Amino acid sequence: MATGQKLMRAVRVFEFGGPEVLKLQSDIAVPIPKDHQVLIKVHACGVNPVETYIRSGTYSRKPLLPYTPGSDVAGVIEAVGDNASAFKKGDRVFTSSTISGGYAEYALAADHTVYKLPEKLDFKQGAAIGIPYFTAYRALIHSARVKAGESVLVHGASGGVGLAACQIARVYGLKVLGTAGTEEGQKIVLQNGAHEVFNHREVNYIDKIKKYVGEKGIDVIIEMLANVNLSKDLSLLSHGGRVIVVGSRGTIEINPRDTMAKESSIIGVTLFSSTKEEFQQYAAALQAGMEIGWLKPVIGSQYPLEKVAEAHENIIHGSGATGKMILLL
């Protein structure tokens, strides 16, 4: 190892598997930014369900081992590579992607995936923007092509993506319905843009939604757990309605006939399919949201880096999300 090389703490994954494969190490070399790259001193990093799928080896994208998970960091620019002149040391920033991994004291990122963090948002909130808000924006605007005046049901609205979807949908002029599984979750959904909230742990909650929306049905459903809800979603849709599948953790049986009379659609969405231009478009809209004040991430459970395995366990098997899960550095 080169003398004078700075070392940092970082979480490393050497084999795919359960949360126990997340290893905190303290002798990892701090990366050096190259052309069009910046090095960020990480203050907080968002934890997203997709990181647990990647870690378990079941996801379509498999990183080369060993690797450090995490894409959504917020912190301060520590060093700037060549041709990354949009940033200078000391700038407060957040990312939608990293090169070296976010569960670490320092993270390397390509300059086009780094954005200025306004003073009115703290680092925890900055770490809650990346995947949740960019995914919610892509789902609503790009995939569902929502129009003002339409209705949207955010199925699983109290987590990171769900609350982002509620805030975005409301500001775009939609009638916003949400579901949550706890009383606290329901309260937070109502505080973040939903006109009405339903408890998806109640046996008859689908009937309550049907009664609330009447004959017409719902134009757009943002679906976080399609393997449980997709069949019910199809029964709720309006004519020409669409279900946008943001998350699914298994298989489900549906009757394709349910899509025919209503000419409804099931559309999958993944943030990683976005082009560089689309990311810039989403970032412009979200940056405006921060400036105006409607983009306000809600922080949920917070963990130190030492408890990263517990965080991964809880984001999948916890009792229902309320706000965005964050690692603090």
Give domain status of residue 74, yes or no: yes
Q: Which token pair is 272?
A: 């990683």
CATH label of the domain that carries residue 315: 3.90.180.10
My answer on whether 141 and 267 are in the same domain is yes
The values of phi and psi at residue 156, to 5°, are: 100, 70
Give domain status of residue 29, yes or no: yes
Give domain status of residue 26, yes or no: yes
My answer on whether 149 and 124 are in the same domain is no
Give domain status of residue 1, yes or no: no
My answer on whether 111 and 151 are in the same domain is no
CATH label of the domain that carries residue 195: 3.40.50.720
My answer on whether 28 and 108 are in the same domain is yes
The values of phi and psi at residue 52, to 5°, are: -75, -35
Measured over the CA atoms of residue 77, residue 299, residue 277 and residue 67, the dihedral's sign is positive
Give domain status of residue 41, yes or no: yes
My answer on whether 156 and 260 are in the same domain is yes
For residue 3, which amino acid is it?
A: T
> What domain range is 247 assigned to?
132-272
My answer on whether 310 and 247 are in the same domain is no
Is residue 131 within 8 A of residue 164, CB to CB? The reply is no
My answer on whether 25 and 93 are in the same domain is yes
My answer on whether 104 and 137 are in the same domain is no
Structural domains of the chain, count: 2
My answer on whether 151 and 216 are in the same domain is yes
Q: What is the pLDDT along the chain (329 residues), one digit of tens a residue?
A: 455 789 999 999 999 999 999 999 999 999 999 999 999 999 999 999 999 999 999 998 899 999 999 999 999 999 999 999 899 999 999 999 999 999 999 999 999 999 999 999 999 999 999 999 999 999 999 999 999 999 999 999 999 999 999 999 999 999 999 999 999 999 999 999 999 999 999 999 999 999 999 999 999 999 999 999 999 999 999 999 999 999 999 999 999 999 999 999 999 999 999 999 999 999 999 999 999 999 999 999 999 999 999 999 999 998 777 999 999 99
Q: Hunting for tokens 């959504």 — which residue is that?
A: 72
My answer on whether 36 and 103 are in the same domain is yes
